[in-house]
Amino acid sequence: MLKNNPFNRLFFKLLLGFWLCSSLIIALVSLLPLLQQSHDRSPLPPSLERILKNVAEQIQEEPQLLENRNLQRLFPRRNQDEPRNKHEGGPLRLYLADAEGQVLNTKRISRGFRRFQLMAEEAEQPISHQFRDELIFGPYSFEVNGKAYQLFGRFPDNHPQPWFFFFSDNKLLTAALATLLSGLLCGLLAWYLSKPLRSLRQSANALAKGDLSSRVDVATVNRGDEMGQLAQAFNGMADAVQTMINNQQRLMGDISHELRTPLTRLQLALALGRKKGQQSKELDRIGYEALQLEALISELLTLSRVSLASHENKLMLELAESLSQVLDDAEFEAEQQGKNLQIDIPEALKLPQHPKTLSRAIENLLRNAIYYANSQITISAALVGKYILITVKDDGPGIDPKELEAIFKPFYRPDTARDRQSGGWGLGLAITQAAITLHQGSIVAENLISPTGQRQGLKLNISLPVS
């Protein structure tokens, strides 16, 4: 019995899963502005600070550079033995500002530079920032003749941005990627939650097809939520159904076996009476019904044995070899009735099988086909994927479409000439289906239809797994 842990319920798993998924996406998206802000306020690199320092020292040494006509001559000074700076991939632009932040050496000031001045003022220290198409850094503060100045630098757009700036600048693409990631995480969560349902569905389908040994896998049963409880309940139900059906089949076999004892005594009494010369129509009728009863009991025992033979090991044999005797007998029987049996079974086809059971199933189909066919019967086999498809066809009257599925039920006798003439008990096809189910296969009946829409025969398709 599962522990009554409320946090182990499926409701909390769903809630926690979707909550974590949404929180993760929100956190990743929210982290981008924080990364950008952290990068905006990063300290000024020493290499860029040296560039501004050299220019400031040059201005301090030559104060005449601050005159209007000389301000355009501002340029960085570099020692000959100093290696070229890694940022010198394009022309350097310098901005000289006074204490109030007014740029002195140019009137063409970009919006990005104004924005950078505010960022630097908030940071209260020299910083650098990579915009979409420019790198701006500074300020470097210095004094000339008692007046305070600030120096800024700018490189063009040949400087790579950090990776997270790509997402910050492409908001629609970022939203699309966030949606895709959210769908992926939710898909993984849905797969985890639907996996036990798939196992339950497969086991239920197998049980519905007659595989009474089908059970939900151990991993699903050991889950601690409602799925695990449902799997345990399903396996318990399957155990009860299998036990009930096996007991019913065993009971039918036992009853059929016990009926043979009084039937044998009845047949012995009839034989003794005939030996003493007691002959009449009534005794002949009793003898006939006794033979019919013996045949019925034999069919019931066969059905019981086939249904309970699942514990026996299968043998890997060639299909043509295991059916050789059945095919020979069917060919002889068809010839005696003036009908043609066409056989097309390749010798290379192999499958795991119970030879006697499978032979009995095919024998029942062939006898029915020979009995009802007008002149032509065909049996063929072919490998289709992982299954061997056996087809039995005849050119007889066919069956009412409403009864195509019911003919495999025990004791079912459709109200058609096909079964009325046979005088059977409706056990032949039931035995066939039990044998096919024992091999984890399936059997389907369908009518052959002429171009005019009339029934012109019956076709039975048997599908048997090769492994």
Does residue 266 lie within any of the structural domains? Answer: yes
pTM: 0.47
Same domain, 319 and 303: no
Same domain, 69 and 157: yes
Same domain, 157 and 294: no
Confidence class for position 160, pLDDT limits 50, 70, 90? low
- C-alpha distances in angstroms, 186 versus 18, 27, 190? 7, 16, 6
Q: Which of 309, 333, 348 is the last residue of a domain?
A: 309
* Residue 249, domain CATH: 1.10.287.130
Residue type, 232: Q
- Which of 385 and 405 is assigned the larger pLDDT? 385
Does residue 376 lie within any of the structural domains? Answer: yes
Q: Say whether 101 sits in a helix, a strand or coil.
A: coil
Nearest-angstrom CA–CA distance, 241 and 243: 5
Structure confidence by residue, pLDDT tens digits, 338-351: 999 999 999 889 99
| Nearest by Cα to 14 from 182, 194, 217 | 194
* Residue 100, domain CATH: 3.30.450.210
Nearest-angstrom CA–CA distance, 12 and 277: 87
Cα 328 to the center of its chain, rounded Å: 45
Label residue 320 exposed, middle or buried (CB < 10 Å: 0-12, 13-18, 19+).
middle
Does residue 203 lie within any of the structural domains? Answer: no
Same domain, 321 and 457: yes
Q: Which of 309, 327, 362 is the last residue of a domain?
A: 309
Does residue 195 lie within any of the structural domains? Answer: no
Averaged confidence pLDDT in the chain: 78
Confidence class for position 1, pLDDT limits 50, 70, 90? very low
Q: What is the mean pLDDT of residues 445-463?
A: 89
Nearest-angstrom CA–CA distance, 178 and 350: 53
Which ranges of 41-151 does DSSP label H, i.e. alpha helix?
46-61, 111-123
Contacts of 191-196 spanning 24+ positions with Cβ under 8 A: 192/17, 193/10, 193/13, 193/14, 193/17, 193/227, 195/220, 196/220, 196/223, 196/227, 196/228, 196/230, 196/231
Which helix (H) or strand (E) element contains residue 260?
helix 226-275
Q: What is the pLDDT of residue 392?
A: 94
Largest CA distance in the chain: 155
Does residue 185 lie within any of the structural domains? Answer: no
Does residue 10 lie within any of the structural domains? Answer: no
Same domain, 155 and 298: no
Same domain, 336 and 453: yes
Q: What is the pLDDT of residue 338?
A: 92
* Count of structural domains, the chain: 3
Residue 138, domain extent: 41-76+88-168
Same domain, 429 and 334: yes
Does residue 417 lie within any of the structural domains? Answer: yes
- Which of 418 and 52 is assigned the larger pLDDT? 52
Of the ranges 166-180, 222-236, 332-346, which is most confident? 332-346
Same domain, 352 and 461: yes
Nearest-angstrom CA–CA distance, 295 and 431: 14
Q: What is the pLDDT of residue 315?
A: 84
Read off the tokens for 82: 């100093």
Structure confidence by residue, pLDDT tens digits, 82-93: 444 444 446 788
Same domain, 370 and 294: no
Same domain, 286 and 318: no
* Residue 439, domain CATH: 3.30.565.10
Of the ranges 23-27, 149-153, 227-231, 284-288, which is most confident? 149-153
Q: Which of 141, 168, 195 is the last residue of a domain?
A: 168
Same domain, 93 and 52: yes
Task: Cite the active site residues.
Answer: 257
Which ranges of 124-225 does DSSP label H, i.e. alpha helix?
163-169, 171-208, 218-221
Q: What is the mean pLDDT of residues 106-133?
A: 83
Same domain, 325 and 270: no
Does residue 341 lie within any of the structural domains? Answer: yes
Q: What is the pLDDT of residue 221?
A: 85
